[in-house]
């Protein structure tokens, strides 16, 4: 496992946040979520109903009518937040225990924002076949599966197989949560810069889980000129040594077959979307963009470029993943509502159409977007419901 | 899957309980447990601490110090209630959905009685190797594993492997919860009938998960004359076609090498312990026991013999698994306290010594046992704490 993220983090956190204080808070707090009983168990009657012998009636019934578990068990309102810890935040492959606080944090958000009963399940394996088998095996207890922080490219196949084989919604949030919120932000950013969405020239730095899903959803929204970059530069059809996943991306993107690095890709572009790493975007890259450019620098914990630098270099609308700058592009705007909607309506697949609707619904919550306000606030109570309504 | 338990159940439930009413209650109720947030998430500060970027501090720390997850995550207070649905209550192999209400009921009891955050995990596989792999893989999120309603003999190997390979407590409750509460009841029953524990002649009907564990724990308590019966009759060394598990039992029990069926085993015995099936024990069997006999008829939902019949036939102390008769021998007296104690003290193995201590602690809560009071009440608030104190 690679724990090299640590040094980046300590630096980042030392810029204003007290690492030791945070760690103490986590230690003092212990668990951030717990279970709560929804029925009384205070007398023999309660035991007889909800445990033995009453429970045998429900068991006998569900053995015969398994689909009704959705209505009469924890399955009704629950989501497993599953990770193998192979790609956690900006920290990399830090394993199940490293991933646990993040998954617990997501469970906390699920409950706080959407009333969804989510339980963190971090896995002590990173083998894709094992992960698929495990998630399939534990699925009967849950109404949905939120995959999280699983590294690309294995995350694509894992999700695809689970979506195909399970009859509950399965979503890898790093992919689709990110893609939905990026598309929503971009819709409003395009309004601010007065450019037509479909004509945007978009550069995506990072071809992992998030970058791939963003590219696909932007394409589904009608945008055609998208260039993806990985560590080796722009992805184009015919580039040597592309894996299957990247071959697919090459076929879908980069219609002008731009070769080279960020410098080549960025020249004349309208939009930069960073899901890559700290400081990768230089001011000269931004300066080479088309007028009225849009920069989403979403690397965590440190963005590809700091907002004031991007602004100085000429960008008009700037977003990051951070709460201490305007325009926070955060998955928490999306995943609670997606699963709330799916659970409420028994939706089994989160389709491309659903994602587009969710992005539009999210964007519509900011009817008059501005340079510093392209996306609703995380705490805006309308957000979860608007996204949930898009899931049908 | 065998859902033949249904007819037994409907009959049983029609004796006084309204099946339709119970089913309606379950349907109306939906989930019986949910999650609850233990921290506020109402402002940006809360998000920054418990989610991003704060959570990265905890993640980085736990990646380096995984053992501290016990103190600063859901692992601190959580138990997975895991079943493959292969041996549910008296209903048999009814699969994961059939098992779900029982596991959810146990999660409810865990929280109500012991404040333990338990989540039901029913598995869509019945393969022992798969079950071991899955439980090992999900273990990082949990502080303990309660295996439940897994059929014998595979349950023995599954539990043994998990106990050996995990560093959190693993207990198959059908085995050890039952064994502990039976031993506790028997200690007090022996006082009532004024017989020495170690000299008791004990017959155990049923050599599955519960029967096996009861035999082993009674033996560990010093009792030597124990005869186990399965469908083929008494188990004795040299009986043809014994599997590995039953060969082991044969070596540990039946020192008088009694052959035959219940009639042969029961003659002159002091104690009958039924973990088998409805109506198996006949009045003539009870009549053939030694004077001042003890009958624990614990088959669910219908006991091996009804208490008034056993009494008429001469039994002095009678217990069942049911709440509508005196002396309810119920695992819920044990499992909440076992895991409470293990979680509180970081105990990693539930040893034979722990089980003996727990049984003694439970028995001691009824200092003056009588024919109708050999075991504390399920709702006695001292029970959980007394059992928990025994775990160290």
A300-309, A331-340, B251-260, B289-298: least confident range: A300-309
Contact present, B265 and B204 (Cβ < 8 Å): no
State mean pLDDT over A85-114. 96
d(CA B292, CA B257): 24
Question: B137 and A124 in contact by Cβ < 8 A?
Answer: yes
Residue of A nearest to B300 (CA): A53
Please tell me whether the interface predicted TM-score (ipTM) of this complex is above 0.85: yes
Judged against a pLDDT cut of 90, whether residue B90 lies above it is answered with no
- Asked whether the beta carbons of A80 and A146 are under 8 A apart, the reply is yes
Distances from the Cα of A263 to the Cα of A108, A208, A271, A320, angstroms: 41, 20, 14, 21
Task: Answer yes or no: are the C-beta atoms of A60 and B7 closer than 8 Å.
Answer: no
Question: How does residue A16 score in pLDDT terms, banded at 50, 70 and 90?
Answer: low
B106 among known catalytic residues: yes
Mean of the per-residue pLDDT values of chain A? 94
Confidence check: pLDDT of A7 > 50: no
Q: What is the pLDDT of residues A151-200, one digit of tens each?
A: 999 999 999 999 999 999 999 999 999 999 999 999 999 999 999 999 99
Mean pLDDT within B66-86: 98
CA distance A121 to chain B (A): 6
- Hunting for tokens 């349950």 — which residue is that? B155
A18 is written with which tokens?
């007290």
Catalytic residue among A11, A21, A51, A67: A51
pLDDT band at B17 (very low <50, low <70, confident <90, very high): low
Specify the pLDDT at position B300.
Answer: 81
A53: preceding bond cis by omega (within 30 degrees): yes
Q: B interface mutation test: which of A35, A115, A320, A326 has the most B CBs within 10 A? A: A35
C-alpha span between B333 and A188 (Å, rounded)? 59
- In whole angstroms, give the CA distance from residue B36 to residue A101: 16
Contacts of A120 in chain B (CB under 8 A): 73-74, 141
pLDDT of residue A300: 81
Size of interface A-B (CB pairs under 8 A): 389
Average pLDDT over residues A360-367: 98
For residue B117, give how far its alpha carbon lies from the nearest alpha carbon of chain A (Å). 5
Question: So what's the pLDDT on residue A347?
Answer: 98
A198 has catalytic annotation? no
Burial B239-261 (b: 16+ CB within 10 A, else e): beebeebbeebbebbbeeebeee
Q: Note the pLDDT of residue B89.
A: 85
Beta strands in A84-205 (DSSP E): 117-122, 144-147, 170-172, 201-205
The two three-digit tokens of residue A131, written as one number: 């992960």
Alpha-carbon dihedral B137, B140, B141, B146, rounded to 10 degrees: 70
**Residue B322 in this model has a pLDDT that exceeds 90:** no
B322 min Cα distance to partner chain A (Å)? 8
Give ∠ CA B168-B171-B175 in degrees, rounded to 5: 170
pLDDT band of residue A89 (cuts 50, 70, 90) is: confident
CA dihedral sign of residues B127, B132, B136, B142: positive
CA atoms in the 13 A half-sphere facing the CB of A294: 30
Could you read off the pLDDT of A41-68 as tens digits, one per residue?
A: 988 899 999 998 899 999 999 999 999 9
CA separation for the pair B39, B29 (Å, rounded): 26
Confidence of residue A18 (pLDDT cuts 50, 70, 90): confident
Q: What is the pLDDT of residue A17?
A: 63
pLDDT value, residue B375: 98
Nearest to A112 among B41, B99, B117 (CB): B41
Q: How far apart are CA A183 and CA A193, in angstroms?
A: 15
What is the full DSSP assignment across A300-322?
SSS-SS-HHHHHHTTEEEEEES-
Q: What percent of chain B has pLDDT over 70?
A: 96
Across B330-357, average pLDDT: 97
- Per the DSSP assignment, residues forming a β-bridge with B311 are none
User: Cα–Cα distance between A257 and A119 in angstroms, integer?
Assistant: 44
Q: How far is residue A156's CA from residue A139's CA, in Å, rounded to a whole number?
A: 19
Give this prediction's pTM. Answer: 0.95
pLDDT computed for residue B323 by the predictor: 84
Mean pLDDT over A75-95 rounds to 96
Q: Which of B297, B316, B360, B286 is nearest to B193 (CA)?
A: B316
Instruction: Give the pLDDT confidence score for residue B146 in this predicted structure.
Output: 98
Q: Is B377 exposed, middle or buried (0-12, 13-18, 19+ CB in 10 A)?
A: middle
Residue B6: is its pLDDT beyond 60?
no
SS3 A342: helix
Q: Read off the pLDDT of residues B293-313 as tens digits, 9 standing for 90 and up.
A: 999 999 987 899 999 999 999
pLDDT at B193 over 70: yes
pLDDT digits (tens, 9 = 90+) for A103-156: 999 999 999 999 999 999 999 999 999 999 999 999 999 999 999 999 999 999
Return the residue in B13, B27, B46, B57 with the most chain A beta carbons within 10 A, the one to mutate for interface testing: B57
Edge-to-edge strand ranges of the sheet holding A233-234: A233-234, A225-230, A201-205, A271-274, A293-297, A315-320
CA nearest A116: which of A144, A89, A94, A152?
A144
* Alpha-carbon separation of residue A290 from A22, A260, A275, A293 (angstroms): 42, 18, 21, 6
Checking if the pLDDT of B24 tops 90, the result is yes
Q: Indicate whether B85 pLDDT > 60.
A: yes
pLDDT average, residue stretch A292-307: 94
Of B3, B56, B85, the CB nearest to A64: B3
Q: How far apart are CA A362 and CA A136, in angstroms?
A: 31
Q: Residues near A213 by Cβ (< 8 Å), separated by ≥ 6?
A: A172, A174, A175, A176, A178, A179
Q: Which of A33, A50, A345 is CA-nearest to residue A168?
A: A345
**Residues of chain A neighbouring B1 (CB-CB closer than 8 A):** 63
Please give the pLDDT value at position B18.
86
Tell which of B1, B3, B26 to mutate to test the A interface (max A CBs under 10 Å). Answer: B26
């Amino acid at each position: 496992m690679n724990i090299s993220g640590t040094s980046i983090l300590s630096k980042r956190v030392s810029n204003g946040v007290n690492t030791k204080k945070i760690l103490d808070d986590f230690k003092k707090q212990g668990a951030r979520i717990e279970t709560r009983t929804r029925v009384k168990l205070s007398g023999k009657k309660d035991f007889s109903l909800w445990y033995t012998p009453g429970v045998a009636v429900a068991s006998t019934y569900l053995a015969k009518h398994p689909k009704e578990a959705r209505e009469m068990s924890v399955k009704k309102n629950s989501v497993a937040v599953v990770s193998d810890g192979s790609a956690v935040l900006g920290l990399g492959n830090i394993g199940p225990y490293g991933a646990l606080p993040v998954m617990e944090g997501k469970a906390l958000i699920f409950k706080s924002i959407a009333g969804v009963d989510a339980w963190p399940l971090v896995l002590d394996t990173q083998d894709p076949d094992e992960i698929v088998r495990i998630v399939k095996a534990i699925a009967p207890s849950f109404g949905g599966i939120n995959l999280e922080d699983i590294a690309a490219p294995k995350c694509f196949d894992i999700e695809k197989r689970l979506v195909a084989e399970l009859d509950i919604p399965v979503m890898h949030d790093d992919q689709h949560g990110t893609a939905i919120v990026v598309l929503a932000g971009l819709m409003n950013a395009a309004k601010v810069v007065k450019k037509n969405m479909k004509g945007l020239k978009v550069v995506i730095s990072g071809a992992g889980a998030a970058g791939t899903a963003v590219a696909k959803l932007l394409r589904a929204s009608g945008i055609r000129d998208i260039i993806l970059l990985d560590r080796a530069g722009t992805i184009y059809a015919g580039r040597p040594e592309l894996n299957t996943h990247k071959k697919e991306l090459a076929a879908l993107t980069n219609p002008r077959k731009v070769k080279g690095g960020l410098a080549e890709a960025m020249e004349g572009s309208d939009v930069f979307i960073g899901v890559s790493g700290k400081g990768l975007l230089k001011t000269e890259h931004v300066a080479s963009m088309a007028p009225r450019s849009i920069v989403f620098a979403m690397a965590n914990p440190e963005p590809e470029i700091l907002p004031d630098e991007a602004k100085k270099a000429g960008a008009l609308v700037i977003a990051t993943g951070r709460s201490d700058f305007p325009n926070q592009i955060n998955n928490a705007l999306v995943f609670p509502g997606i699963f709330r909607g799916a659970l409420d309506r028994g939706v089994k697949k989160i389709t491309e159409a659903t994602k587009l609707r969710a992005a539009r619904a999210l964007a519509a919550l900011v009817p008059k977007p501005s340079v510093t306000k392209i996306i609703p606030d995380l705490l805006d109570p309308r957000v979860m419901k608007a996204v949930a309504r898009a899931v049908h």
